[in-house]
Amino acid sequence: MKEFQLIEHYFRNKGQKRRDVELSIGDDCALVNPAENKSIAISCDTLVENVHFLADIPAHALGYKSLAVNLSDLAAMGAEPAWFTLAITLPSVEPEWLERFSDGLFEIAEYYGIALIGGDTTRGPRCISITINGQVIKGSALTRGGACNGDWIYVTGTLGDSALGLDILRGAKIVNTEDKEYLINRHYYPTPRVLAGQALRNLATSAIDLSDGLVSDIQHVLKASKVGAIIDVSQIPLSASIKANLSREEALSYALTGGEDYELLFTVPESQRGAIDTALIHAGVKFVKIGQICAGDKLKLVDDGEPFVPVSRGFEHF
């Protein structure tokens, strides 16, 4: 199968159709028409085999996750998904694999109303690169740089499940049969908190998605906002599955440093706490207060008032 046949069969005329797309796949560029008074939020993620995903990941899961991790970036900015491009590098054309990959990709694209408008294909080691675009009303985007002394720190969902799921797949951990599928699926099929991010606009002072681990990612907020933070690890949300299979110390280590949760961490002033409760309940997202922004530039982890040191660090790209 040639390149243009591959594109035509697996990617063109599939998925979400949007009225703001003037010209899509099939020309040198796509043409889109952004809404008036909105900024464009743009992000790019590359997933490389045996670096960001295991070689035996199901193709459907890879298609889904490739877009999900990019949608999580839009969620952290409070943006509404609009368009994306896909550059896919493959060692060979495998029709069955491509069919399943395409199904996973367009399953999540349809759910979040985002359209594939272009990209590229080439031969080489398996690699997926997506550039995603969203829209947000000018002046309302969430950033990492707005946290203030006294703001409360929250996270959505539960933390550590994805990292434990990855270790199960690697054969590094054995868990109860009844928890295994849940934990692996939290690694394969993360939930980008798109609606939660939109609900936080004009309420939260800063936000970031948790891709490299809470300890690593919150440092970006502290640096951008020029503040410090105190996190009470006893408040970290843990799933029933992770608690059933790990000691408390090990579970907290996964939650703090494991990465790939794609939950949101955000900061809220005292004056907005009630509004946040209402907004996120309406968005259908569970969230927990885990700490507070403070003066200085350091992150302090405490457990029942005593200093706490996690046993590993978050993911670093280099």
Q: Average pLDDT across each block of 10 residues of the chain; the chain has 318 residues. List them in order.
A: 62 71 77 90 95 95 97 97 95 92 96 93 94 96 97 98 97 96 98 97 97 96 98 97 96 95 98 93 92 96 90 50
Q: Is position 103 annotated in a ligand binding site?
A: no
Is 282 within any annotated ligand binding site? no
Is there a binding annotation on residue 212? Answer: yes
**Residue 140: closest CA among 187, 190, 198, 179:** 198
Is 73 within any annotated ligand binding site?
Answer: yes
Q: Which CATH class is domain 3-137?
A: alpha beta
CA–CA gap between residue 110 and residue 64 (Å, rounded): 11
| pLDDT on residue 66 | 97
Q: Check whether 43 is labelled as a binding-site residue.
A: yes
- Identify the pLDDT of residue 311: 72
Is 220 annotated as ligand-binding?
Answer: no
Q: What is the pLDDT, as a whole number, of residue 4? A: 60
Distance CA 253, CA 249 (A): 6
Taking residue 281's Cβ as centre, other Cβ atoms within 10 Å add up to 12
Buried b (16+ CB within 10 A) or exposed e, 223-239: eebebbbbbbbeebbbb
Is there a binding annotation on residue 120? yes
What is the reported pLDDT for 283?
87
pLDDT of residue 47: 95
User: pTM, whole model, 2 decimals?
Assistant: 0.91
Residue 254 tokens read as 């996964």
Residue 70 corresponds to which tokens in the numbers above? 């990019």
Topology classification of domain 152-305 = Phosphoribosyl-aminoimidazole Synthetase; Chain A, domain 2 (3.90.650)
Residue 160 marked ligand-binding: no
Query: Residue written as tokens 């080489």?
Result: 124
Can you give the residue ranges of every domain in the chain?
3-137, 152-305
pLDDT value at residue 180: 97
165 is in an annotated binding site: no
